[in-house]
Amino acid sequence: MHSLAHSLARCALANGARIVVNSPVSEVIIVDGEAKGVRVSGDSLLDDKTIWADRGVILNTHVKQIPDLISRDHVNTTFVQRIEDLSLKGGSLFVTNLIVKELPVYKDAPEEFSPDDYPVGMSLHCDTDNVMELMRTIHSFRMHPEHPDEYAGIWYIVHDQHDPTRGRAKKAGAEGHVITVNLQVPAPEYHRDGPDAVNKVKDEIVDNIKTVLRQYAPNMTDDKYIATPTNTPYDSEFRNMAFVGGNWEGARSSQDEWWSNKPLPEMARYRTPIAGLYHCHQTAYPGGLCLIAVPYNLMHILIEDYPEMKKSTPDWWYPSPWHITDEEGGTK
């Protein structure tokens, strides 16, 4: 994802865009119900703190942050309240990277994990009872799992198998494999013991993850680990400012906040109540980690709203054959 962001930045610069850093938008300028530009923070190095534009796309901003950018005079108070009522209780991901000297060999099927045909990802300890118990711990008790037996549905992603050039890691002269491990825990804001509760037991959680892995792959003894850099949901909030609640899904994964209802039905096609202002973020449809789908879908809506954009789209652009226009009933 980091490489993708850099590729997009280079593409934008090559096509004449100007990228200004450390200049957060403090307000969207609205004239007669239409977005006309933005004001940036007074700390910005820009001489002119006002930027005018034909249209605007709010990027990297959680839907719950939108009311802070738009004056309450321009949006219905009911709409603002509905945004504030959106839930972040979807659970968050505790992510640790196991930098190991050798890959796990799983005792029940060692032949399935040969070095030449090692799977990219798998999930351990995830029968229905275990997963349901974990969900109760997270959502009802608002706690992280405390015993290895409670560590259900742990994802293991072996980066070497996805792209050999990206997964190598060196430390103290040793080359290893990188296994990213994901475990669900409560969003920081909802944890029973406070937002930093998971951070306080970070090392203990990593040890429990190792214990679970060793139950299935006995070769993964302590001497096989080079390092275990870890990123908690609380850390994610500071590393990725759009991750409100440290939640990679962005909001609760329930029927009233998902698919064509995400984040709200009237915003599911990226339009905001302000003409000329659009929202492009993981809290927009389809959400979660479908990150490329959001700007790709948005491009269809922009072309729909501004037909002149179709004439200036680059040669590599191609519209989706499955896009349903407003005229065909897409908004409905």
71-111 confidence digits (pLDDT tens):
778 888 899 999 988 887 766 889 999 999 888 988 888 88
The amino acid occupying position 291 is L
CA dihedral 201, 207, 212, 215 (to 10 degrees): -160
Given a contact cutoff of 8 angstroms between Cβ atoms, the answer to whether 91 and 247 are in contact is yes
Mean pLDDT calculated for residue range 158-185: 71
Nearest to 150, CA basis, from 232, 217, 94, 212 = 212
Mean pLDDT calculated for residue range 6-27: 89
Nearest to 256, CA basis, from 49, 86, 123, 11 = 86
pLDDT band at 136 (very low <50, low <70, confident <90, very high): very high
Number of Cβ atoms within 10 Å of the Cβ of 205: 22
Q: In this prediction, what percent of the chain has a pLDDT beyond 90?
A: 38
Please give the pLDDT value at position 40. 93
Cα 290 to Cα 159, 286, 294: the distances in Å are 19, 7, 7
By mean pLDDT, which of 74-83, 144-153, 159-168, 274-283 is the weakest?
Answer: 159-168
Domain range annotation of the chain: 2-87+251-311, 92-239
Please give the pLDDT value at position 258. 78
In sequence order, the β-bridge partners of residue 170 are: 175
Nearest to 269, CA basis, from 319, 307, 304, 306 = 304
pLDDT band at 241 (very low <50, low <70, confident <90, very high): low
In sequence order, the β-bridge partners of residue 29 are: 37
Q: What number does CATH give the domain 2-87+251-311?
A: 3.50.50.60
β-pairing, 230-231 with 154-158? unpaired
